[in-house]
Amino acid sequence: MKLFRSKPKAGAVNFTNLPRHIAIIMDGNGRWAQRNGLPRTAGHAAGAETFRRVATYCKDIGIEYLTVYAFSTENWKRPAPEVQFIMRLLEKYLWEAIEKMEKDRVRMKFFGDVSILSEELQRLIEKTAEISQRYEGCQVNICVNYGGRDEIIRAARLCAEEVLKDGGGKIGMEEFEKHLYSSGIPDPDLIIRPGGEQRLSNFLLYQSAYSELYFTDTLWPDFTERDINKAIAEFQRRNRRYGDIK
């Protein structure tokens, strides 16, 4: 992984050579609200609108996979009213998405343990999975109650159970990856973190082994299509060697 902070020139994107998979840590909603003299919930509402806009833009320019960090396993530590507001926002978004998924040709998948979410949210998540099976198109992965360490432990446990059930054998990378939430999905080429922090915060720890990392001080609610272009332009200037010397 390469840690990098830069301000590349806008408009330098090669739209014929895009990353297949972009992942985003949607950070800075609370600080955005504070800077604007608003309650934290207003920041989350603004961040949800940014997500809609960015997801649409990624689909329109030809990004195959977009993965966003919506709610981590650690976010349950936040005040209960804030958590409840986030969950209501998610429910509202899913109702809207179900109405538009087939028209917009956007598939949806959830990463994380959704079993502890409300029955209504679980029902809506199942509905989006059902709709997603009907067609091919841009896939948006939403990480909810997700943690990279938890995902690795879960995959290891499931893989070990499978090996024991089959009477022994070795656990290889291919077998292990089948039990990740991201099974069948290419690793992210580019991970973007707005908000000024420079860490992964337990996001896609296994999948990010060779991801390019891009950090920006822009808070998530202020993030625009121009910011996506800047990140892609920087990605396209990187030399991805995967351990080779070329």
Cβ pair 65, 21 in contact under 8 A: yes
- Tokens linked to 117: 């979410």
Q: Tokens 């082994």 sit at which residue?
A: 209
Catalytic residue among 14, 36, 75, 217: 75
Query: Which distant-in-sequence residues (6+ apart) come within 8 Å of 138 by Cβ?
Result: 58, 59, 63, 64, 65, 66, 105, 106, 107
Q: Which residues partner with 193 through β-bridges?
A: 215
Q: Using CB atoms within 10 A of its CB, is residue 122 exposed (0-12), middle (13-18) or buried (19+)?
A: middle
Question: What letter represents residue 58's amino acid?
Answer: C
Task: Tell me if residue 27 is catalytic.
Answer: yes
Catalytic residue among 27, 187, 189, 227: 27
Distances (CA, A) of 210 to 10, 86, 194: 25, 31, 20
**C-alpha dihedral (85, 82, 207, 131), degrees to nearest 10:** -10
Q: Categorise residue 56: left if φ over 0, alpha if ψ from -120 to 50, beta otherwise.
A: alpha
The residues annotated with a catalytic role in the active site are 27, 75
